[in-house]
Structure 1
Amino acid sequence: MGRHSLPGSGDSASGPADHGGGDEPSGRIPRADGGWQGRRRRTDGGRRGVSVGVIAALITVVVLVAGVFLWRFFGGVLSKRSADAAQQCLEGTAEVAVVADPSIVENIASFAEEFNSQTTPVGDVCVKVAVREAGSDTVYNGLTGSWPGELGAIPALWIPASSVQPARLQVANGKQAVIDARSLVTTPVVLAVAPQVKNALGQDGWAALPGLQTDPSALDGRDLPGWGSLRLALPTVGGADATYLAAEAVATASAPDGSPTDGLGAVSTLLAGQPQLADNTAETAWNALIAPGDPALAPVHGVVMTEQQVFARSTTMPDDASPVASWLPAGPVAQADYPTVLLSGPWLTEEQVDAASQFARFLRKPDQVAKLNDAGFRAPGAVMEGNDVVGFPELGESLAVGDDALRSALAGAVAPAAGAVTTVMLDQNLSGVTGALEGRIAALPPGAVVGLWTFDGTEGSEPV
C-alpha cells in the first residue's frame, strides 16, 4: 500500500502496532538496522559516574561553612555574655584617682565628668575618674614619703604644671615610678610687671634678673626714679611651677655652656632678694602687684608666673587695680608643659592603670585641647586670642636644661627636700634668718611639723 493510501476495510486503523518480529509492513519508514544515524540515546544500559574527588570536595566545603557558621554563632553568644557581664560591673567599680595642678584642675575635672559619662568598663570592672587639686610639692612629698590622707587615694595619673616634677620623682623613686609622661599643653614663664617696669626691662634676659633684684637702685638707673630694685616675687605655692622653671632659666643663662649647676649662685641671689610678703603664694604676690596706689612704692614690682596665669587673672582684675603687663625675657623660653604622668605602684590595679591611660588619651582629643586653648594654654597650631595684658606672641626655641638628675638638682634650690618633721636650732639673734625661715615654712607640705628652739649657748628656753 502506498504511503498516502487509505486503509482498506480489512485493515485495522486503530490497532496496536506489532512490536514483535513479524514481517508485515507497518506503513512507516523502516528503521535502519544498527540504531539511529543521527542523535542517539545510549542503549547499552550504563550510567555516567560522579568523581569521588568532587564528592569529597563538596563534603569539605559543607563542613567548613558549617564550622564558620557555628564559630560565629557561639562567638557572638559569648561576646554578648561578656559585654552584658561588663555592663553589669560584676567586679564592682574602681576609682581612678587623678591629681592636677591648681592652674588646670578646673578644666581636667570638667573633662573627667565627660569621660565618665562615655567610658566603657575595663573587663568586668567599671571605672570612675576622680580629680583632685594638689600642688607640685604636696604631690611630690606624698609620693616620696607619706601620702596625705586629705588628698584621697594615691593617684594613677598626675598632671603637674611642668616636667620638672616627674624628673624629681624618678630621681627619688627610680625610673620605674613613671610609666609614661608626655606634654598635654604648654605656656611660657613670664613676669607680670607694672607697664613701666616692662619698658625698663626691654630686651633683657634671665641672666639680668639677679642683679636687678639685689641692686637697690636698679630701676632708678633705668629712668624710673624712686622705684628702687626689681622687687620680683617668686612664689612656690600656686605658681604653676613658674619659679622652678625660672630657676632653670636663670641658672642656664648665668652659667657657662653645659654647666647649669654653676648658675645656682645666681638662683640663690634672686630668691634671697625677693620681697617679704605674708606668705609665698602666687595669690598674695599678685594682689600686692595690682594693689591701688603709687606703683613705685608698691612692695612688689613683678611676679614670676606663667602666661596662662597672667591671662586668666587679668580678665578678672578689679576696676581700681594698678595696670599690669606681661614681659617675656629674651632668649630660650622656659615653658610649663603640663605632662600627663602615668604612675606605677603597688597601690594600682591593672584596670586602674588602663583607665588612667585611656583618660590621658581622652584629654588630647581636639575638643578638649580647644577648651584648654580658650583658657589660655597653648597647643601646636592653635590660634590664640589675647587681651590688653597678654598678646600671646610667637615664641622662640624652648629652654633645654638637661637630664632628670640635673633638673632635680636645680629644683632643690627652690624647694629643698623636707622631711615630715624638721627641727631648727637658732641663735638668739634671729634677724639674719627670720626671712629665710618664713619662706621655707610657707613651702613645707601640709602636715609638716617645724620645731623652733632658741639657744643662748648655755641652755635652751621653752620651744616656740
Structure 2
Amino acid sequence: MGRHRDDRRFRGVSTGLVVAVLACAVVAAAVFGWLQLRDRIQDQGTAAAEACVEGESILHVAADPAIAPRLAEIAREFSATTPVIRDRCVTAEVTPVASDSARDALTTESGWNDDLGPRPALWVPSSTHDARRVAPTAVANGEPRSLATSPIVLAAPTVLAEAMTEAGTGWRDLPWMQNDPAALAPWGLPEWGSLGLALPMGPESPGTEMALEAVAAAVADEGAGPVTEEVAQSDPVRSAIVALGSGYQAAGGQPEATAPALLESLAGDPDPADAAVHAVPTTEQSILTLLRDRPDAGIAAVAPAGATPVADYPAVTLRGPGTDDTTSRAAAQFVDFALDPQRAQVFTDHGFRVGGAEGPEGVGPRPLPPIGTPLVPADAATATELTAAARDPLGERNTVVILDVSQTMGTDNDGRSRLEAASSALAAHVERSPGSSNLGLWTAGSGADGAVGYRIAVPLGPVSEEGLPGGTRSESLVASLGDQSASGRPTPYAALSEAYERAAAGYVPGRPNSILLVTDGTTDTSPGIDRAALLSAISDSADSSRPVTVDVLVLGGSGPSPDTATLQTVADRTGGSLVRVDSADDAAVAAAVNRMLS
C-alpha cells in the first residue's frame, strides 16, 4: 500500500515580529520605570518639603499694643496650618511695641532697638501716620494694607459727650473752646470752665497727632486733606494749634503724658467738673475696651464734625537685617490670612471696625456712624510742624506789652470794656508763659502819666523772677493788668518811641524780641510826637542784625474803624503785623494775643 505524502508543514514565527514585540516590551518597561521613578522623585520632594529640608523660619511681627493681642490670636491659627515657604516651615510670633517707639527705632542708623524685641519683618503700627515717617529704604515694595480701623474720637465724661454730640461740635470749634472759660456754659455746664482738651504725646498716644491734623484741616477748610506744611505754618492754623497746646499746658498738662493714663484718670474722676482735663483724643476702640472692663466709668466717645482721622493699622513689610525673600513671602501670606473674612470677627469682637461698618454699640451717646470722609494723613514734615507747635506753644521771648489805657478803651462792648477784654487775655497768657521768658508791661495814655504819656507798670525781666511787688514778675503782671482803668487821652506814639529805643538797645539774642501794642486805634495825642517823629525814632533805633518787631492789636466794636495807617506802617517796617479784633469776641482776642506772643 503506498504512503501518501503529508502536505502539512511546520511554519516558524517571523523573526521580525519577535524583534518588534520584544522592542515594545522593552519600551513599555522603560516607560513604566520612568513613571515610577518620577512619582518616587515627586513623593520624595513632597516629603522633603513637608520635612522642611531648609529648616524653620520665624516671621517676627511688631504690632501696636492695641491690636497686638488680636494678631497674636491670628498668628497662632496661621502657624497651626504649618505653612511651608521655600522649603522652610514658618511660624508667626507677635510682639507688642508702641507705634512711636517702633517708628523711632526703625529710623535709627542701626535700624532697630533690640530692647523692643526681635527686629520685625512685618510691622503693624496704629496708623499710616507712623508708617510715613519711616525711610522708604526700610519698607518693602507694595502699598501697606489696612487690617482694621478705629476712628479718632474724644473721650469725655458722659454728660459732656452728650452735650457736644447734640451741639454738633466740630474739630474747628476745639481751639476757641480750649481757651474760653465759659465755653461749656451754654450747655448747662458753667462750672466746668473751658473744654480742657488734653494733648498727650507720650507712648501709645496716636490720637493727638491725628486730632491736630483734623483741627488744622477744619480751620483751613482743607476738607479731607492732606494738610500741607504751608497750611500748617499759616497764621490761622498755627494760632489754633497754639491755642490748644497753651490751654492744655496752662491747666498743668504735660506733653509727656500718655493717652491710656489720662483715660484712666478721666474715667476714675468722681467730680469731672473740677478736673483740669475733660477730654482726651484717642481711638474709639480704646474707649470700648475700657468700658467693657469698667462699665461704670462714666465716659463716652464724641465724634467731632469734619473729616475723620483714622487709626488704620497698616501691615508694613520691612527690609533690612533679619529679613529675606522667605520672610517677605511669609509676611504677605500672613496678611492674606489675617484679611480673610473668616477672621473679621476677631477684630470686630474687640471694638475694631472692618470695612464700612458703624461703630460698636455702647461707646458713645449713640452708635457712631460709618466713617464718612476719612482724613488723608499729612506727610512727616507737616505732622512734625503741628506737633511741635502744640508741644512748645509758648517759646522764650523778650517782649514789652504796651496797653492803651485811654478813655476810649473803657468803651462798653457787649457788657465788657475793651480794656477788660485785653487785660483778661493778656493775664491768661502771662500765666502760661515760660518762667524764662522776659516780659514787661507799659501803660499808655495821658492818665498814666500826663507829662510823657506812658508809665512802666512792670519792668521787663524774667517771668519767674521773685522779689517784685506782689511776688514774682508773673504775679505782678497779672495784678497790674487787673488794676488798670481807662482815662485820659490816647498817647501810644510816645510809649512806642521810647519802648522801641530801649528794646533795640536791650536786644536778647536767640529769642524773638518784640513790642505788642494793644489799643483801639483812636487818634494819638502824644505830646511832641507825630507820625513823622515816631517813624524817624524807630528808623534811628532799628538794626537789621538785632531785629525788634512791633505787633499791633486793634480792639474795635460795631462803630467805624479808626485810622491806623501810621501803626500799620510801624508794623510793616519792623516785620510785625496789625490785627483788628472785635473786643466782644473773647475767643478772638485771646487767639490774637496768643499768636502775637507765640
The verdict on a shared fold, with TM-score over 0.5 as the criterion, is yes
Alignment partner for residue 265 of structure 2, among 270, 288, 291? 288
What is aligned with 2:286? 309
Please give the alpha-carbon distance, in whole angstroms, between the structure 1 residues aligned to 2:328 and 2:68.
Answer: 20
What is aligned with 1:445? none
Alignment partner for residue 177 of structure 1, among 134, 139, 145? 139
Please give the alpha-carbon distance, in whole angstroms, between the structure 2 residues aligned to 1:135 and 1:75.
Answer: 52
Is the partner of 1:347 in helix, strand or coil?
A: coil
Please give the alpha-carbon distance, in whole angstroms, between the structure 2 residues aligned to 1:434 and 1:156.
Answer: 47
The one-letter amino acid of 2:196's match is: R
For residues 81-136 of structure 1, the C-alpha deviation after alignment (integer angstroms, 9 at most, x for no partner) is 23333333333322221100011111111211221221322223222222111111
Please give the alpha-carbon distance, in whole angstroms, between the structure 2 residues aligned to 1:280 and 1:157.
Answer: 28
The one-letter amino acid of 1:112's match is: A
Please give the alpha-carbon distance, in whole angstroms, between the structure 1 residues aligned to 2:136 and 2:96.
Answer: 25
Structure-2 change in CA distance of 1:231 and 1:122 (3 Å): same
Structure-2 change in CA distance of 1:327 and 1:385 (3 Å): closer
Is the partner of 1:95 in helix, strand or coil?
A: strand
Preserved contact between residue 100 and residue 204 of structure 2 (Cα < 8 Å): no
Q: How does 1:102-117 map to 2 (within 5 A)?
A: 102-117=65-80
Preserved contact between residue 268 and residue 413 of structure 1 (Cα < 8 Å): no
Using the TM superposition, give the Cα deviation of residue 156 of structure 1 relative to its aligned residue in structure 2, in angstroms.
0.5
Preserved contact between residue 100 and residue 203 of structure 2 (Cα < 8 Å): no
Please give the alpha-carbon distance, in whole angstroms, between the structure 1 residues aligned to 2:226 and 2:348.
Answer: 35
For residues 383-420 of structure 1, the C-alpha deviation after alignment (integer angstroms, 9 at most, x for no partner) is 76512647543224233436xxx42123214656xxxx
What is aligned with 1:135? 98
What is aligned with 2:247? 273
Using the TM superposition, give the Cα deviation of residue 190 of structure 1 relative to its aligned residue in structure 2, in angstroms.
0.8
> 2:263 aligned with 1:299, yes or no?
no
What is aligned with 2:522? none
Preserved contact between residue 226 and residue 375 of structure 2 (Cα < 8 Å): no
Structure-2 change in CA distance of 1:91 and 1:298 (3 Å): same
What is aligned with 2:216? 251
Preserved contact between residue 373 and residue 384 of structure 1 (Cα < 8 Å): no
Q: How does 1:339-358 map to 2 (within 5 A)?
A: 339-358=314-333
Please give the alpha-carbon distance, in whole angstroms, between the structure 1 residues aligned to 2:432 and 2:351.
Answer: 42
Using the TM superposition, give the Cα deviation of residue 306 of structure 1 relative to its aligned residue in structure 2, in angstroms.
0.9
What is aligned with 1:93? 56
Please give the alpha-carbon distance, in whole angstroms, between the structure 2 residues aligned to 1:371 and 1:390.
Answer: 25
Please give the alpha-carbon distance, in whole angstroms, between the structure 2 residues aligned to 1:255 and 1:271.
Answer: 18
Q: Please, which runs of 5 or more residues in structure 1 have no aligned partner?
A: 1-17, 20-54, 417-425, 436-456, 458-464
Please give the alpha-carbon distance, in whole angstroms, between the structure 1 residues aligned to 2:257 and 2:98.
Answer: 13
What is the count of residue pairs matched by the alignment? 381
Is the partner of 2:133 in helix, strand or coil?
A: helix
Is the partner of 1:232 in helix, strand or coil?
A: coil
Q: How does 1:313-462 map to 2 (within 5 A)?
A: 313-317=290-294, 319=296, 321=297, 323-380=298-355, 385-387=360-362, 389=364, 391-401=366-376, 406-413=378-385, 432-433=433-434
Please give the alpha-carbon distance, in whole angstroms, between the structure 2 residues aligned to 1:286 and 1:101.
Answer: 18
Q: Please, which runs of 5 or more residues in structure 2 have no aligned partner?
A: 6-19, 389-395, 398-430, 437-507, 509-598
The one-letter amino acid of 2:44's match is: R
The one-letter amino acid of 2:199's match is: L
Please give the alpha-carbon distance, in whole angstroms, between the structure 2 residues aligned to 1:174 and 1:267.
Answer: 29
What is aligned with 2:159? 196
Of the two, which has the highest radius of gyration? Answer: 1
Structure-2 change in CA distance of 1:124 and 1:233 (3 Å): same
Preserved contact between residue 64 and residue 98 of structure 2 (Cα < 8 Å): yes
What is aligned with 2:206? 241
What is aligned with 1:11? none
Please give the alpha-carbon distance, in whole angstroms, between the structure 2 residues aligned to 1:125 and 1:350.
Answer: 12
Please give the alpha-carbon distance, in whole angstroms, between the structure 2 residues aligned to 1:281 and 1:434.
Answer: 25
Using the TM superposition, give the Cα deviation of residue 346 of structure 1 relative to its aligned residue in structure 2, in angstroms.
4.3
Could you say which structure has the greater relative contact order, defined with CA pairs below 8 angstroms and 6 or more residues apart?
A: 1
Using the TM superposition, give the Cα deviation of residue 72 of structure 1 relative to its aligned residue in structure 2, in angstroms.
4.9
State the identity as a percent.
34
What's the Cα RMSD here? 4.1
Is the partner of 2:84 in helix, strand or coil?
A: coil
Preserved contact between residue 335 and residue 398 of structure 1 (Cα < 8 Å): no
TM normalised by structure 1 equals 0.70
Using the TM superposition, give the Cα deviation of residue 234 of structure 1 relative to its aligned residue in structure 2, in angstroms.
2.6
What is aligned with 1:12? none
Q: Bigger shift: 264-273 or 137-146?
A: 264-273
